[in-house]
Structure 1
Amino acid sequence: TKTLLTPEVALFINKVGTEEMTSILRGISKKEDNDAAEDKRLRLLTVEVNTIVLNVLEDFISDFRRDLQRNLSSNSNPLMSGIVALFCTLMGTRQSQQFVHLLYASLRSFAYKFVDVLFKGDNTYLSQILQEILIHCNRPEPDIHIEASTLLFILIKLNQRTTGSFGRTKIQAITTLSNLVQSKKIDKDVVLNKSFARLTEYALHAYSTLYYRDIESGSDLTVDDELAHSLYSSFARGIQDMCFTFTSILRDTLRVIEMAETADSHM
């Protein structure tokens, strides 16, 4: 997977003569003498290659959707395991703003297609994706942390709609955040609390307008205002409580790590 994302492989494919690659990469496959121009060329090349990889992945998902939905366990679904691993690899690699939006569009589509796999299956797919989402929620670039927190909110809503509760997403997000802070993959709050606050804003907006009544399936939510008010009120409070837990974990764990490091330095 990682090999597919390198400019060298794109140049190799272009050299071999793949018609699609030749068409797409024409004009940016010639090495530049100027360092700045060469850096720009390689970045453009990487975007094009990543976009092709993403398009192939989406076509594969579309063609094998039924097979991918059939098995909810990671042990019996190596294809889904590979797809999630590829998504996580793309998320874990620094990408251009242009590609970030394409990637998150694919992730949103993936989440809507495979709600049963993510929220009912005996697998770790959700936690794998949540790890990358939470890291992105702390990235300083607005394009990234807004996309990440928005996808997290969508996952919460889909979990609520699919199982009647967003408990799975909540528990796995809390556990994942704690692990990320303890392992120092997140070692300070850049915009993480801002991203958490955005989740609350989304939930309160949904509750205040009751425009999109999509957190429960097979009910009279669309026509029963009293029921919608009750469900969205509970949903918004649940997200507020979850975000408070996120903030507490981040603050307290970072404080404990700092105290431990200070104590070690004085020994």
Structure 2
Amino acid sequence: MFAGGEKNPQDPADLDERAIEDIIGGSDCFELTSHFEGTAVDDSGGTDTTGVIKDTILPVLWGRRITGHPNSHAQITLAGDSAFISLTIHTVGTLNIIGWRADTGWVGVQELLNETSQLFAIFKRRGVATDPHRGWELTHISGATGASDSISTVEIDSLRIQSTSYPDTVISNPVHIFAVEDALTFLSEEEIKPTVYANDPSLRVFLHVFMPNWPWHVRVPFVSGGNGTYTGIWHTQLLPAVRFAVFGCLQYETLHDEDYPYDFHGWLFPYLVRIP
């Protein structure tokens, strides 16, 4: 999973790094690609094609497909009984679109996908070297940010969460590190109204969440309020668990112009669902 140099199997520091890498490799908290995979019908919220330019694609079915194993690099800095982690993940794949063009009919488009994501974490040694993972435990983590590599013109500026549990919370730094017990926590099936503030008034903005039943990957479209604001409504899952939400922005042309490259920016956050 991880790129890096050879480790000395007898060196305590190298053994500690390997133990931490094992935790990272087995935890969903560090899996940044599978939380918004899959293809779904276009859910932009509107079907009115009046005035649509004839060479504009109207997506009907689209989604991401990862074509290779993500290349991950964990920079681990040990300081006594603490370890500071910077995790970078490079992903390659395709954005696949089946859509309709007024001048040519049905079209299939496949855009090359290259993106890089990053998050941060802190581990603490809570035990001794003979304990599982040499006593290391995850204590703090950040959200993640990701962006396309070839072109990146879109950017999320901030995110507002409004719900019963969080009447008005604004997040401006997706990689702020917090204690794992302080993760955003919502009630089962709680209604959430998120608002994304971005740098462009013509983006396509979606919330990607994973459900433990069909259709598995759910894509919630956001409605533009003008001036780069986008608002959506979603309800948290029924069963209590650690969940993940990806707020993703695509340049409009990425979905509607077959010659425009993949242009993406996204924020990912872990959150908890609890029973009232």
TM-score if structure 1 supplies the norm length? 0.22
Q: Specify which structure has the higher proportion of helix.
A: 1
Bigger Rg, which one? 1
- Which gives a bigger RCO, structure 1 or 2 (Cα 8 Å, sep 6+)? 2
